[in-house]
Amino acid sequence: MPSTILKSPIFKEKLKEMMKNYAGIYGLYKDDKLYYLGLTRNLLGRINWHLKDRHKGKWNSFQIFRIKKVDYLKDIETLLLHIVKTKGNRVKGRVPKDAQLNWALREIYNDHKKEMKELEDSFSKT
């Protein structure tokens, strides 16, 4: 949605109604590129705040994802920030080691690197 609807009296009441008592995750976009990803317990208030804070003028559209169960809200945001790159987020959060499987795959690869090299060499000889 374009950020201009946040100032529109036509949308103001409906947005309040749709977002009342909802937490969620939102994305701020500069054209089609994700600029900032955030979470909040007050969706409308937070997005309106970003029209005035350090992000002012750096985004022109947004997406909102309402979440009723807020227990995992921070975990979801952290995982998303480790998947996508944004210019506006300063902090990504920490992913627990057991949730991030790349380290385990690297370990397996390193343990079997010699075997894999031998296999590659045998393929190149045939």
pLDDT at 60: 94
| Residue 89 or residue 4, greater confidence | 4
Is the pLDDT reported for residue 87 higher than 90? no
Token code pair at residue 106? 């690297």
Is the pLDDT reported for residue 122 higher than 70? yes
Q: What is the pTM of this model?
A: 0.63
The CB-side HSE value for 2 (13 A sphere, CA atoms) comes to: 4
pLDDT digits (tens, 9 = 90+) for 24-44: 889 999 999 999 988 888 888
The full set of domain ranges for the chain reads 3-94, 96-126
**Dihedral of alpha carbons 109, 112, 115, 117, sign:** positive
CATH number of this structure's domain 3-94? 3.40.1440.10
pLDDT at 95: 63
